[in-house]
Amino acid sequence: MALVTWSDKYSMNIKEIDEQHQSLVRMINELHDAMLQAKSKEVALGIINNMAEYTQYHFSTEEKYMQQFEYPGYAAHKKEHDKFIEKVGNFKNDYESGKTGLSFDLLNFLKDWLVTHIQESDKKYSPLFNEKGLN
């Protein structure tokens, strides 16, 4: 059962970024499935590691275009990215060391952050990116 279902309301009308967002949605759903099926810590950690690496790759893509197109909200947007990377990194370290377990609170945080970030923060840059010819 999918925790997040991709729909057009999440689309930036930018193929590269939409595909990256869809990959992040898939990873959240993989983690959700792993939790529901009580998969091993190693399986969950693999998904979390992949998600952490891919998120950094995705953020660098967005930030590259923000700088290229001189997006005025770049600094604030990058700060959101940096806070998310820090939070996920802290969770990953705590999970690896056994300080915390995988919980639905974390999963809901990931889902809510992604959905809110796409619909509120990312939607702000898409008109500029589209105007500059990025589709």
Tokens of 6: 């991709």
Asked whether residue 3 is assigned to any structural domain, the reply reads: no
For CA atoms 114, 19, 14, 75, the dihedral sign is: positive
CATH number at residue 113: 1.20.120.50
pLDDT tens, position by position, for the chain (135 residues)? 789 999 999 999 999 999 999 999 999 999 999 888 888 778 888 998 899 999 999 999 999 999 999 999 999 999 999 999 998 888 888 888 888 777 787 888 899 999 999 999 999 999 999 999 999
Q: Which is nearest to 109 in space by CA: 54, 40, 31?
A: 31
Q: Which residues of 17-50 are buried (b: 16+ CB within 10 A; e: fewer)?
A: bbebbebbbebbbbbbebbeeebeeeebeebbee
Number of separate domains in the chain: 1
Per-residue pLDDT, 32: 92
- Domain extent, residue 104, equals 11-131
